[in-house]
Amino acid sequence: MDNHDKLALPVGTTLDRFIMRKQEDFPYATGELSQLLRDFALASKIVNREINRSGLIDVAGAYGNRNVQGEEQQKLDVIANIRFIRALRNGGEVCTIISEEDEEMIQTGNVQGKYVVAIDPLDGSSNIDVNVSIGTIFSIYRRVSPTGTEGTAQDCMQTGTHQVAAGYVIYGSSTMMVYTTGNGVNGFTYEPSLGEFFLSHPNIQTPATGSVYSVNEGTSEYFSEGMKKYVAHCKEQNYSARYIGSLVADFHRNLLKGGIYMYPGTSKVPNGKLRLMYECNPLAFIVEQAGGKSSNGHRRTLELEPTELHQRCPVFIGSTEMVEKAEEFLAAEMKTAEAE
Instruction: Please write down the long-range contacts of 101-110, taking CB distance under 8 Å and 24 or more positions apart.
Output: 101/67, 101/68, 101/73, 101/77, 102/67, 102/68, 103/68, 103/309, 103/310, 104/309, 105/151, 105/153, 105/156, 105/309, 107/150, 107/151
Q: Please, which residues bridge with residue 15 across strands? A: none
Chain-centroid distance of CA 322 in Å reads 20
**Interatomic CA distance for residues 181 and 164, integer angstroms:** 6
Strand order across the 260-263 sheet: 240-241, 212-214, 260-263, 315-318, 293-295
In whole angstroms, give the CA distance from residue 163 to residue 75: 30
Q: How would DSSP label each residue in 188-257?
A: EEEETTTTEEEEEE-S----S--SEEE--GGGGGG--HHHHHHHHHHHHTTPEE---S-HHHHHHHHHHH
Annotated binding-site residue numbers for Mg(2+): 100, 120, 122-123, 279
Report d(CA 205, CA 290) in Å as an integer.
Answer: 5
127 vs 61: CA distance, rounded Å: 10
Evaluate the CA torsion angle 91, 93, 95, 100 in order and state its sign.
Answer: negative
Cβ pair 318, 261 in contact under 8 A: yes
Binding site members: 100, 120, 122-126, 216, 243, 273, 279
Judge contact between 328 and 223, C-beta under 8 A: no
Give which of 123, 118, 119, 181 is closest to 153, Cα–Cα. Answer: 118
The tally of CA atoms less than 13 A away on the side-chain side of residue 226 is 19
Residues annotated in a binding site for substrate = 123-126, 216, 243, 273
